[in-house]
Amino acid sequence: MSIWAPMPGSWGWADRGDMTFTDYLINGMFVLVVLRQARERRLDVRSFVAPMALVVFVGTHYVHAIPTGGEDLDLVAALTAVGVTLGLLCGFTTHVRADADGTRFARVGWIAGGFLVAGISARMLFVFALQHGAGPAIRSFSITHHIGAAAWPLALVSMALCEVTVRLVVVQLRGQRLAQAQPSALATV
């Protein structure tokens, strides 16, 4: 029997129920991470480990299997690429500087914050639309393109995790490069 066989009730995430309080809390935590980074902060181990702990928590909470039927992996790859792109754009538009003694600092400005919020908002809007009337259109699209319902959550979570991880790595590497520069060459990048 196909996973797309007509069944009573709804399709996709709605089959498991609406977004849970935990789902909203996790998205809210990502927004708070963005807002917290609007103030300049020191780039140190803590500034890398704390967000990565959130990434690991989200990954273990949402990723339990990788669907490989039909075009599932294509969807996951496409949204992962979107996450990587947003992470790169955000990482390169984050203000990074090193002071005279090589201490590194970073601050998310309007552009970088906009990229982060765009990714979070896109995922939230997709789920909201799915649960408030777009479910049949998404189901039809998925059937046409041979995408299983389990691929959507994985693709959206992969997008988020890659966006955050790539941004963190880019900002850390940019800060490291500045700190290793000659004192006379230290400048804001």
Answering whether pTM is above 0.95, one says no
| Residue that has been written with the tokens 């046409």 in this structure | 144
Cα dihedral 14, 16, 20, 22, rounded to 10, equals -130
SS3 164: helix
Say yes or no to pLDDT of 137 above 60: yes
Share of the chain above pLDDT 70, in %: 86
Burial class of residue 153, CB neighbours in 10 A (0-12, 13-18, 19+): middle
Q: Is the CB of residue 90 less than 8 Å from the CB of residue 112? A: yes
The single-letter code of the amino acid at 69 is G
Torsion sign over Cα 80, 85, 86, 87: positive
Own/partner contacts of 138-144, CB < 8 Å, gap of 24 or more, are 138/11, 138/12, 139/4, 139/11, 139/12, 142/4, 142/12, 143/4
Say yes or no to pLDDT of 185 above 70: no
For 65-106, the pLDDT digits (tens) are 888 888 899 999 999 999 999 999 999 999 999 888 888 999
Q: Give pLDDT, residue 96.
A: 94
Length of the chain: 189
For 155-165, the pLDDT digits (tens) are 999 999 999 99
pLDDT band at 182 (very low <50, low <70, confident <90, very high): low
| Residue that has been written with the tokens 């273990």 in this structure | 60
